[in-house]
Structure 1
Amino acid sequence: MNTDHPDLIHYKKLMHDLQIKLVHLQSHIIRNELQLLIIFEGRDSAGKDGAIKRITEHLSPRDIRVVALNKPTERDKNSWYFQRYTDYLPSRGEMVLFNRSWYNRAGVEPVMGFCTEHEYQRFLHTVPTFEQMLMESGIQIVKYYLDISKPEQHKRLEDRRTNPLKQWKISPIDQLAQDQWDDYSKARDEMLSRTHTDKTPWYIVNANNKKRARLNIIRHLLQVIHVDQTQENNGHTLQQVDSSIVFPFSESHLTDGTLYS
């Protein structure tokens, strides 16, 4: 007997249908030798892990990779900044998901003092060119910024501290996430403003509701890759993305209250 709440049953059914389409998406990528890079950024506890898990959990592990790098080594620090990431870029027929990426230099690093002002400014100046080079080489880049409110982050960080199954997520930086909320907001706004381009746009995800965020990220991903699934849809129609949950960044969002401050 299924004792799940009706809302949870509905969520599981929607997710199941979307994950079937993700299998078709992966087949499309393999068949056409595409290279897909998906970048997930956002505040601590914004839901990046959960979104990535739902995307990858039924896909072929041979043709998809999740990249979540540890702190840089001394060699990394003495190398070209992007060098430590280039080994992880997708090859033909492959999807790669970055759980945080080179955008650490636009968020955590300047806020925590892990890079100099010159390094920070140089990154913001050069990253659009770097991403354009990747696009011109055949790598399609999709960038998501998961945005949550300060009270929601507080609730999720508290859950990490008390839930024994989430202890691995706790880091020293988490402890400062709330104290330095305004600094992270300023860094977020600067990053979005200076690295959002026509070819590699940022998509904002209102992630205060995890389940709605996950469903709409997958719907959006299926749309932006332009997969023709008419032959493989098994009768399932792809629902439209909720534009209040996932939407392209605009400069107006910095002042109109769309982003959590």
Structure 2
Amino acid sequence: MSRHQHKTKSVDRMPKKLYERELLRLQAELVKLQEWVRVEGARVVVIFEGRDAAGKGSTIKRVTEYLNPRVARIAALPAPTERQRTEWYFQRYIEQLPAAGEIVLFDRSWYNRAGVERVMGFCNSKEYTRFLHQCPIFERLLVEDGIQLRKYWFSVSDNEQENRFRSRLEDPMRRWKLSPMDLESIARWEDYSRAKDEMFVHTDVPEAPWYVVESEDKRSARINMIAHLLSTIPYYEVQRPPLELPPRPPSKGYERTPREMQTHVPDHASAIQAT
């Protein structure tokens, strides 16, 4: 499909009520998956990559909404330090990999080298070529060691990306999501497209394939991604022992500290209700 065809393709938006009902069902399954990971000592890595404003961050929020942060954590690494720039490229990402009973969600990952670093000139040709050679080997080693690795590419058209950028610019609550580099991606759309295509050629391997998530409609994208992730991991519902609240024991004479002896936050809620 050409760029123009992708840009003008109509998209059916998922109805909100249907989306919310299915999302809640899938989130309940994610809780079951989490408990399976904890009990079985499994290690799960999920990579979220794609265009700026393609919906990666909002999907990660829905994935983790009801999960235990001690089991499922987000890895969103900042730019490397001067010392890290002298290390093996994958080294700082290895530090983020899960131990037994953990899920790690990479909000962007080692694929920065094949995307933004390649397009913006933050790495040289030798570093880029070495990455394309080493990445499949690195990921095969992870899978061979028992890590469940899933890689998702969120695909969005140039028109929809521009609309989302514009919406963020006009919303003071979300303006922080935009950076000069994000806006630069508009002018470099085709450069990023070529970089993504070349990345797929080298890294879409049987042991660690790429799964493309069409994200013109964010609701559908979230549902599709979560449903697919659940379908690819052989988890089961862990039977937990029933819990009951114990009876409260009788008082042993404790008296609460007088309110006036403590510093309380102002009752802002009552103040706005009184207006």
TM-score range, shorter chain: 0.7 to 0.9
Contact 2:63–2:226 (CA under 8 A) maintained in structure 1: yes
Q: Does 1:156 align with 2:164?
A: yes
Instruction: Give the alignment of 1:42-191 within 5 angstroms.
Output: 42-191=50-199
Structure 1 gap segments, 5+ residues each: 1-5, 233-261
Q: What SS does structure 2 have at the residue aligned with 1:60?
A: coil
Match of 2:248 in 1: none
Distance between the aligned counterparts of 1:54 and 1:123, measured in 2? Answer: 31
Distance between the aligned counterparts of 2:235 and 2:91, measured in 1? Answer: 31
Structure 2 gap segments, 5+ residues each: 1-13, 241-275
Tell me the alpha carbon deviations over residues 86-118 of structure 1, each in whole angstroms, 9 at most, x when there is no partner.
110011000000000000000000100000011
Distance between the aligned counterparts of 2:188 and 2:237, measured in 1? Answer: 45
Q: 2:216 aligns with which of 208, 216, 219?
A: 208
Code of the aligned partner of 2:188 = Q
TM-score under structure 1 length normalisation? 0.84
Q: Does 1:41 align with 2:49?
A: yes
Q: What SS does structure 2 have at the residue aligned with 1:14?
A: helix
Contact 2:169–2:175 (CA under 8 A) maintained in structure 1: yes
Q: 2:24 aligns with which of 16, 23, 32?
A: 16
What is the CA-CA distance between 1:7 and the residue it aligns to? 2.5
Contact 2:36–2:238 (CA under 8 A) maintained in structure 1: no
Distance between the aligned counterparts of 1:217 and 1:87, measured in 2? Answer: 26
Q: What SS does structure 1 have at the residue aligned with 2:187?
A: coil
Worse overlay, 8-17 or 180-189: 8-17
Tell me the alpha carbon deviations over residues 146-168 of structure 1, each in whole angstroms, 9 at most, x when there is no partner.
01000000001111111111122
Flag the 1:231–1:91 CA change in 2: closer, same or farther, 3 A.
closer
Code of the aligned partner of 1:99 = D
What is the CA-CA distance between 1:231 and the residue it aligns to? 7.7
Q: CA-atom RMSD, angstroms?
A: 1.5
Distance between the aligned counterparts of 2:170 and 2:27, measured in 1? Answer: 31
- Determine what percentage of the aligned residue pairs are the same residue: 48
Distance between the aligned counterparts of 1:230 and 1:194, measured in 2? Answer: 38
Distance between the aligned counterparts of 1:215 and 1:10, measured in 2? Answer: 10
Q: 2:33 aligns with which of 1, 7, 25?
A: 25
Match of 1:224 in 2: 232
Tell me the alpha carbon deviations over residues 5-29 of structure 1, each in whole angstroms, 9 at most, x when there is no partner.
x931221111111100000000111
Code of the aligned partner of 2:72 = I
What is the CA-CA distance between 1:230 and the residue it aligns to? 10
Q: What SS does structure 2 have at the residue aligned with 1:203?
A: strand
Distance between the aligned counterparts of 2:157 and 2:237, measured in 1? Answer: 36
TM-score under structure 2 length normalisation? 0.80
Q: What SS does structure 1 have at the residue aligned with 2:174?
A: helix
